[in-house]
Amino acid sequence: MTTVVLARRVMIVIACLLAIAGVVAIVRIAAAVRADAAPLVAPPVSVETIAAEIDAESARAAGLTSALLILQSRTSDLDAALAAADDQMTSDTNLAEQLRADLAAAKARLATLQAELAAAQARLARLVAAADAAGVAAAAPPPPADTTAAEDHDDHDEHEEDDDD
């Protein structure tokens, strides 16, 4: 390499360094001007304020934790109630099926009894018709006994007891 090329390269490096230094200086000057033109609107938060906010958030977190525990308890109560209701529904469904089966059996028994009753009534009607045709009168109940005659009859019963001995 020749000295001219070497000198040229050194001049390029020096020019680049001067350009970088100039940019850095311009940025620093701009930042200083901007900082003077824009003061802080809100003062920085104090340590006491941060501690108070931490305490408030801790209390809020404790409240939310207790609320979550209450909700968890209520949820478990609701789960238990739902399980009981499900068991009751299953029991009621089984009972309803049993009652339907019992009702069907009772209806079948009723139909059988009604058929037997109809047959018995038809048979009775035939017997009554046959009895009427034969001239047989239905037996009438005996007339009521006279109460005075019954008392007289009681006196005879006492004598009859003596006769039996």
Per-residue pLDDT of the chain (165 residues; tens, 9 = 90+): 688 888 999 999 999 999 999 999 999 999 888 877 676 676 778 899 999 999 999 999 999 999 999 999 999 999 999 999 999 999 999 999 999 999 999 999 999 999 999 999 999 999 999 888 887 544 444 556 555 544 554 555 555 555 554
Side-chain half-sphere CA neighbours of 69 within 13 A: 6
What is the rounded distance in angstroms from the CA atom of residue 83 to the CA atom of residue 165? Answer: 82
Q: Residues with Cβ < 8 Å from 138, sequence gap 6 or more?
A: 131
Instruction: Report the sign of the C-alpha dihedral through residues 148, 152, 155, 160, in that order.
Output: negative
